[in-house]
A and B are shown apart, each in its own frame.
Chain A
Amino acid sequence: MTDYNFAYLDEATKRMLRRAILKAVAIPGYQVPFSSREMPMPYGWGTGGVQVTAACLVPEDTLKVIDQGADDTTNAVSIRKFFARVAGVATTEATAQASVIQTRHRIPETPLTEGQILVFQVPIPEPLRFLEPRETETRTMHALEDYGLMQVRLYEDIAKHGEIARAYAYPVRVEGRYIMDPSPIPKFDNPKLDNSPALQLFGAGRECRIYALPPYTHVKSLDFEDYPFTASKAAGQVCAICGAEDSYLDEVITDDAGGRMFVCSDTDYCATRVAAQAEDAA
């Protein structure tokens, strides 16, 4: 603890981050540029999320970190240990016990509560980037609410594939104003963004953007009246470990003969259910 400043970053950097976070909260869905720092991990490993988490942490926090729903993957374990070392915070794998949750590409199955902060790691914050590569143009499109291009893109999906063919990073409209990339969460998680009691912060380190969804913010997944949004997942499958029917499932290949199983992506949710089942059986 004595080797680093609290939460790793210097105070001037944290003030810059905190000012950006407050502006992001004041303009839900708008991407606030910030001066992203080099972190002791490569881009793509959550440098944006780590900076947002560092700016928000207090010593009393309990931190949970998940990577694709799992608490026990390299990225999640590394970031959890990083903050335990440089901020001295308690860590947990239980969603309900965490005050700050940093996540890569999932929202926990256990409903979040008021007072919790969910920090997303974001690779490409600009939802229009693959439709229009020029930053000057996408900035003007956001300023003018000129979102026809995105609707055309979704329409073309329907024309080609018969449905909106996007399973993750499914674009949303925030409070009827900004179109926002919810980070590469499965579209199964999109409904959890809407009217969440928790504060949701998004950090993109390489792209130098911070954006936010305050609690109880209206977040609508883009769709058409005749092609409404559906929060899909592996059809007809249940978790092979805990039997959950309502959770998002990962497909795991088990051998070279085509064997496969579906298991909960959220390891804490799955383990909690297994423990409860063992208790019931006993």
Chain B
Amino acid sequence: MQLTTGFANPPVDAARAFRVVLDAMAHPARIVDLPPIEAPAPCSPAAAIVLLTLVDATTPLHLAGAHDNDAIRDWVRFHLGAPLVAPQDAAFALGDWDALGPLASYPQASADYPDRSATLIVECAALSSDGVPLTGPGVQTEASLALPDIAALQANAAQFPRGLDFLFTSGAQLAALPRSTQIGGA
């Protein structure tokens, strides 16, 4: 088996990638483009770039479903060194929405330390702005994003300031949904 490469120039590539992710997190539902990169199947290039930018030996990672394969595990061990863990111990998780399972199984953080919750990297077939209306910090008037499970994400947002944060990835595209975003008109 052959490992795919990581960043060609890690300090600068990671800096550029982070600015794109930061732009997405600061503007929920905004669909941003990341540079193409080789990634082990079925991991999307965007998800691979997020992992290379944010995940390392200090951040336990949960691989869900089809993403829990030898190619990705080897790639994670070589490039990131992140411990592979069960959902309840994860700082980051990667997988399809259905494979990631119930949101309650991930660390939701406490009211004292709401930052200690997991960030879920959700692989999608496509990202679309044709979805439910979103409001909140980072949204000037109203934004919109197609979401996999509106009820579960509304319940997550209702926990604010606790709750999970989401990065939706598809191909080289990414969109963020922080817990601070209110979902749906009601």
| Residue contact A56 to B137, C-beta cutoff 8 Å | no
Question: For the complex, is B59 an interface residue (Cβ under 8 Å from A)?
Answer: yes
Complexed CA–CA distance, A144 and B110 (Å) = 11
Complexed CA–CA distance, A162 and B10 (Å) = 57
Residues of chain B within 8 A (CB-CB) of A215 are: 26-27, 137-138, 140
Interface residues contributed by chain B, number (CB under 8 Å): 39
Interface centre among B14, B23, B161 (most CB of A within 10 A): B161
Question: For the complex, is A192 an interface residue (Cβ under 8 Å from B)?
Answer: no
Residues of chain B within 8 A (CB-CB) of A28 are: 137, 180
Complexed CA–CA distance, A141 and B150 (Å) = 32
| Residue contact B137 to A175, C-beta cutoff 8 Å | yes
Chain A interface residue bracket vs B: 35 or more
Question: For the complex, is A73 an interface residue (Cβ under 8 Å from B)?
Answer: no
Shortest Cβ gap from B183 to chain A (Å): 14
Residues of chain B within 8 A (CB-CB) of A197 are: 140
| Residue contact A24 to B115, C-beta cutoff 8 Å | yes
Contact flag A21-B115 (CB < 8 Å), given A27-B180, A58-B15: no
| Residue contact B18 to A56, C-beta cutoff 8 Å | yes
Residues of chain B within 8 A (CB-CB) of A21 are: 22
Interface centre among B19, B53, B58, B160 (most CB of A within 10 A): B19
| Residue contact B137 to A214, C-beta cutoff 8 Å | yes
Complexed CA–CA distance, A177 and B10 (Å) = 38
SS class of chain B's interface: helix, strand, loop or mixed? loop
| Residue contact B16 to A27, C-beta cutoff 8 Å | no
Shortest Cβ gap from B30 to chain A (Å): 10
What is the 8 Å Cβ interface bit string for chain A, positions 115-138, against chain B (1 contact, 0 not)?
Answer: 100000000000000000000000
Question: For the complex, is A253 an interface residue (Cβ under 8 Å from B)?
Answer: no
Residues of chain A within 8 A (CB-CB) of B18 are: 14, 18, 55-56
Which residues in chain A, 12-34, are within 8 Å of chain B measured between CB atoms?
Answer: 12, 14-16, 18-28, 30, 32-33
Where the two chains meet, the residues of B that have a C-beta atom closer than 8 Å to any C-beta of A are: 10-12, 14-16, 18-19, 21-23, 25-27, 53-56, 58-59, 110-115, 117, 119, 136-140, 160-161, 165, 178-180
* Contacts beyond the supplied A15-B53, A22-B54: 15 A-B pairs with Cβ under 8 Å: A6-B11, A6-B15, A19-B59, A22-B22, A23-B165, A27-B160, A28-B180, A56-B22, A57-B15, A115-B23, A144-B111, A197-B140, A199-B26, A215-B26, A217-B138
